[in-house]
Each structure stands twice: as structure tokens, then as C-alpha cells.
Structure 1
Amino acid sequence: MNSSLSVTLDTFYTVTTVEFNEKLTEDVFFLNGEKADHTDTERVSNYLRAIRKFAKKHLFAVVRSENHVPTAAGFASSASGYAALAAAATKAIGLNLPPQELSQFARLGSGSACRSIYGGFVEWQKGVKEDGSDSFAVPILHEDDFPIAVLSVMVATNRKKVLSRAGMKRTVETSPFYQGWLDTVEHDLSELKHALELRDFTLLGEIAERNALKMHATTLGANPPFYYWQSATMEVMEAVQNIRSQGIEAYFTMDAGPNVKVLCLPEDEQKVYDQLKQIPSVKKIFTCHPGPGVTFLPTGEADVC
């Protein structure tokens, strides 16, 4: 696999509480105020099982999570969700873990969640050990060190047909394009870290856009092939290129989903926003900036952007 780099955003976050109780006979999970279905509850319970084993405590829990991230649409809801769950659950069971260990626990739920433990720009180091003990996130830049704007453009609200984990598995196992992308990742990551060191927004945007296109191309070679883009996705991408031709620096990137993240400088965000808002297929635009990682609220909840 490969190392990766992301930016934790201030607009998207999850607030989670975990209460372990010796009287419970099973885990209970509430998502956005409603009792979760069996599949989601089982997913959370499986994750808590690892924490129980590490803490040597056989206690079940009530988990309440308010997710302020569009789910399964390419806005990294699992990253925010599992980072918050890792922080809240480990603290509730009596484990006061340093950030590195917390990052490792978050990774067990969702790989990208390990980065959301920290704020700002964060690298997930893939590690080389078979047991994964050296695979965790490290902070690169604090959220205030490099001011940028990220316009998260929503073109679809429905749950994506191929979820991230299943899509990645299919791509890795069957796409002949995957190795070609993998061969370029380390170079792109090195260049991206160099761009952050120099605070070079142009280089940052160019690499992010190029790498996203290469990543999405790998899904077309999978068996069976699939893709996350919709026609509206392409409209936004083309609009960003048109904005750039006007001399305004804007670059697009995407996770595994149809929605688009547009990078620009803070002084240009309103101009970019206004042009993107004119696209009929755009449903909503979230204005985001680099934000903090895990924060423990006075009530004991874990708040993760």
C-alpha cells in the first residue's frame, strides 16, 4: 500500500459519546439521534471489541454519535466518525493514550481516521512491519501554518453504490492500472510535503489535482469496472479549469465519491464560490479551512473535525 497526506477540515466533524456499563449485555449505537441498524451497530461493536481486548475489560457500551459530515458521499465521514469513536471509547474505558497510539487505534476502524486525530496537514505513514505497529499518522503543519480554503462541492446526496473499502479492495485485486498509480504515489507525496514546507500553493494544487485524477482512473480498470463520478462531477471539474484560465488559482481533488473539493487561496474563495454556485447541478457548497483534530469537550464527548 502507500502513505498518504490529507488536511483536517473545520466544517466537517463528529461528536461522539461512549458510556461503558457493566449492566449492558450488548453494545448499543445511536447515530444522529436514531438507533442504528444491525449492520452499523455490528461494525461499531467489532471496533469496540479491539478496545476491550487492549484494556482487558469486558464491558459493553452505549455509543451516541452526531455526524456533521455527509455519509458515504466522498466527504470522509468514516475518517471523522472513527477518529471520534477511537478518542471517546479509549478515554471512556480508562485508556489515556498519546496521539500516536490513538492514531493507531483509529486506523483499525478506518485507515483515513488515523489522520483525523491531528489538525492541519497530516501524513499517514504506511509503515513496513507486518503487524502494522509502525503505521500511524504524524502531523506535518498546524492548521494555522498554511491558510488555504477548501470548497466542498456537493453534487450528490445519495449513498454511493460502491463503498470506499469495497472499491479499494476490488481495485487493488483486479485493476492493471493500480500498480501504475502506486508507482507514482511516493514521488507525489514527497513533492506535496515539499510544497507544504515552502507554502507553495501552486505546487500543492497541481499535485493534488493530478494525483486525484490518477487515483480515480484506477477504478476504470477494475473487474468489474466502476467509477464514482457523475456528470455533475465533470461539470465542476471543468468549471475549476475555466476559473484557473481566468488567472484565479483553483484546483480540484476528490475522495472516493462524486463530490468535489476545490482548493483555493482564502482571498479568492468568494470569487471561486460565486462561479461554482452558478452550476445548476451543484446542490450545496461547504466553505472549509484547515481545522483542529480530536478535541475532548467538557461533557466528555470527543469532537473530531
Structure 2
Amino acid sequence: MKAFALAHPNIALVKYWGKRDFAYNLPGAGSLSLTLGGLSTRTCVEFDAALDADSLQLDGKAVESGGKLKRVSQFLDLVRERAGISQHARVISENDFPTGAGLASSASGFAALALAATTAAGLELSATELSILARRGSGSAARSLFGGYVEMNDGVYAIGEDGTKVATRSAEEASKAAYARQIAPAAHWDLRCVIAVTSAGEKDIGSTEGMVSTQNTSPYYEQWIASVPGDIERAAAAVAARDFAALAEVAEASCLRMHASAMGADPGIIYWNATTVALIHAVRKARAGGLPVFFTIDAGPQVKVFCPAEALDECRALLAGTQGVRQILEAHPGEGARLCGDFVSDAAAAKDVAGD
């Protein structure tokens, strides 16, 4: 009853911000993302009858109590219920990129946890069922189960009808659930993501807390939600056509509208710092000068800049030349979550559960 899994974070090009139900992590609107190869979470789950409670080790440090351990344990309860087992589990998870800093570590973390935990518990779930399950841990994790370019369906089912038994439904019924699907494989378009880390440590306001406040107090929240379906349609068309200019336009607009809705909360939620703003201006100026680049920013101060592979060196230099950038990370279109060896990446042996 032990398994290892690897998953990559993803960056939403059309943002996810808001839930129609928090208990079931049902999104208020859909989203569209790119899974990022080059950044990884590896997770081991071992169910052990000798344990009297779940345990969590994150990036080499034991998590004795608090929200992170509770969140993992509650997710394991979903797996235990489905598998009909009662054993507690030992969870070890390692990120090779900063945790909790706005780089989607919860997305890769819960995607890896979903695959490792269900495998260790003896469950065999479809990619869609895994996506729905991963969503219960983190809304963005539903997308990290898949590689390449991924669309998240917001679903229409009410709380009790959006469970995990999609395999027993008709195709029409299944399409109404909240889960992710791949719209283009990683090899479809070699966009590179250069990440400017502008702040160390975890952000002050978590994503869920920020969403709650935005939904409850921002006068711009409903307009933000109403803008998403059209943005997804335009972004999906841009990805299909490999139209960089069109994707740049919709991605930056989605990013700014999401943050505008958060800034309109009471009190206003501002994830950016001075370097974040400087990078926005630098990227816009560079694009006006002919460099194919665009930015996007999730719930945090880090700036993700996309460019075609052939513009990577110039993009890297642009970010490195901006004062306040602490670290630069690079990513490429990545594959879906997969089983792996003992915290050793083995691409030849890894099993890609989401496929192409």
C-alpha cells in the first residue's frame, strides 16, 4: 500500500478565481492552463495500519499540525472512503521549486497526492475521475493531472451530484461535471515560461482566502466571472492556431481582470509588489519593440513570462535585467501526472496516466 507519483504545476492563461461551492471546490467559471515541465512535485503515500494518525513531511520538514496537515488528511479521507479502507497514511512530498509563493505548488501537490494515494489504496480511476478527485484538494490540481494545454470545465451539477462516479454516466451527463481535459498535447506548441521570482517565502493571503473575500466584497466579481467563457473560447482558438499575438492579448486581459476583482475587495487584496509592476511595464515595452513576450500573474507576486522557444534567451535577459528579480526559473510544456520511482525521475519508466 505504497506508491510514488510525480506531477507538474500549471499556469492558468485564462484565470481561475472564484468558487460556486467551497466545500466541493466547484469553480465559479472555467479556466485554461499550460502544464509546466521543468518544475515538479514528487509525493509518496504509504498506508500503514501501525499509524494512529496521518503524517506529512513537506520539503524535508515534518508538518506536525495546522492547515496543511488537516487539508491533506481530509483529502485522504476521500480516498479511504472510496477504497473502503481505514488505515492512516504517511505522506512525503518534495517540490523542486518554492512552495506556497504563487507558483501553483498546491496544483502539482494535490495532483501527485491524488495519483499516489489512489494507487496505494488499490483504486483504478480514469483520468477524468482522478481530475475530479484532485479538484477536491485544490481547484487547480484538476488541471495538473493532464499534460500540455488543458481546459477546466466549470460544471453545472449541484453539490451532491458532482461526485467521482463519472464512468457510470453518459457522455452528456459527464460533460456537466467539473473536471479538466487536455485540449492540446505538450508537443503541440513549444511555448516557454520564464518565471521571475520577486519575493521569497509564502504569500500573506492564501488563494482560497483571497477568493472568499473577493466573492463576498468585490463589486467587480460578477463581471469577472461573466468575462471568463469568452476568454476561454478565444484562448483555445489561439492555442489551436498557435497564434501568439492572440494568446498574449487574452492572457494578459484575463490576468489583469482577475487581479482587478481582487483589488476591489474590502479590504483590497494586492498580491503584487514593486518588482511585479516593474516587470509588467518591462514586458509590455519589450513586446511593443518587437519581442514576442506576454505576462501572467497568479495569486502572488511572481511574474510568469511566456515566449516562443526561439525568443528564450532574450526573454531571460529581459527579466534578469529588471531590478528586484531574486531568481529566474524556466519551464516548458510538461506532461501529465504519472507514477514514478523512489523520488527519482525516470521518464522512460514513468506511467503517464493522463495520456495525450
TM-score range, shorter chain: over 0.9
Match of 2:139 in 1: 111
Match of 1:5 in 2: 32
Q: What CA deviation, in whole Å up to 9, does each residue of 1:238-286 have, x standing for no partner? A: 1101111221111000111110000111111101111210112001111
Q: Is 1:267 aligned to 2:310, yes or no?
A: yes
Q: CA deviation at 1:287?
A: 1.3
> RMSD in angstroms over aligned alpha carbons?
1.5
Match of 1:132 in 2: 162
Q: Secondary structure at the match of 1:114?
A: helix
Q: CA deviation at 1:69?
A: 2.8
> What is the TM-score normalised by the length of structure 1?
0.96
CA distance in 2 between partners of 1:82 and 1:183 (Å): 28
CA distance in 2 between partners of 1:37 and 1:142 (Å): 39
For the structure 1 residues 238 and 37, does the alpha-carbon distance in structure 2 shift closer, same or farther, using more than 3 Å as the test?
farther
What residue ranges of structure 2 are gaps of 5+ in the alignment?
1-27, 164-176
Match of 1:28 in 2: 55
CA distance in 2 between partners of 1:23 and 1:301 (Å): 27
Q: Secondary structure at the match of 1:144?
A: helix
Match of 1:294 in 2: 337
Match of 1:230 in 2: 273
Q: CA deviation at 1:300?
A: 8.8
CA distance in 1 between partners of 2:343 and 2:79 (Å): 18
Select the residue among 219, 231, 234 that pairs with 1:176: 219
CA distance in 1 between partners of 2:106 and 2:338 (Å): 17
Q: Is 1:246 aligned to 2:274, yes or no?
A: no
Query: What amino acid maps onto 1:38 in structure 2?
Result: S
Q: What CA deviation, in whole Å up to 9, does each residue of 1:197-222 have, x standing for no partner? A: 11111111111011100100011211
Match of 1:152 in 2: 195
Sequence identity (%): 39
Q: Is 1:215 aligned to 2:254, yes or no?
A: no
Off by >2 Å, runs of 4+ in structure 1 = 298-304
Match of 2:113 in 1: 85
Q: What CA deviation, in whole Å up to 9, does each residue of 1:153-175 have, x standing for no partner? A: 11111211110010011101110
Select the residue among 69, 72, 84 that pairs with 2:97: 69
CA distance in 2 between partners of 1:221 and 1:34 (Å): 37
Query: What amino acid maps onto 1:97 in structure 2?
Result: L
CA distance in 1 between partners of 2:343 and 2:134 (Å): 18
Q: CA deviation at 1:301?
A: 8.5
Q: Is 1:191 aligned to 2:234, yes or no?
A: yes
Select the residue among 258, 267, 271 that pairs with 2:301: 258
CA distance in 2 between partners of 1:30 and 1:163 (Å): 20
Q: What CA deviation, in whole Å up to 9, does each residue of 1:30-63 have, x standing for no partner? A: 1112211301222211110111111111110100
Select the residue among 116, 125, 131 that pairs with 1:97: 125
Q: Secondary structure at the match of 1:232?
A: helix
Q: Is 1:201 aligned to 2:244, yes or no?
A: yes
Q: Secondary structure at the match of 1:38?
A: coil
CA distance in 1 between partners of 2:291 and 2:109 (Å): 34
> What is the TM-score normalised by the length of structure 2?
0.83
CA distance in 1 between partners of 2:240 and 2:99 (Å): 33
2:55–2:64 CA contact under 8 A, matched in 1: no
1:90–1:96 CA contact under 8 A, matched in 2: yes
Match of 2:21 in 1: none
CA distance in 2 between partners of 1:157 and 1:204 (Å): 29
Q: CA deviation at 1:299?
A: 4.1
Select the residue among 46, 54, 58 that pairs with 2:74: 46
Query: What amino acid maps onto 1:288 in structure 2?
Result: A
Q: How many residues align?
A: 304
Match of 2:5 in 1: none
Q: Secondary structure at the match of 1:8?
A: strand
Q: CA deviation at 1:298?
A: 3.4
CA distance in 1 between partners of 2:88 and 2:223 (Å): 45
For the structure 1 residues 20 and 300, does the alpha-carbon distance in structure 2 shift closer, same or farther, using more than 3 Å as the test?
farther
For the structure 1 residues 301 and 266, does the alpha-carbon distance in structure 2 shift closer, same or farther, using more than 3 Å as the test?
closer
Q: Is 1:15 aligned to 2:42, yes or no?
A: yes
Match of 2:83 in 1: 55
Match of 2:8 in 1: none
1:7–1:122 CA contact under 8 A, matched in 2: yes
What residue ranges of structure 1 are gaps of 5+ in the alignment?
none
1:69–1:76 CA contact under 8 A, matched in 2: no
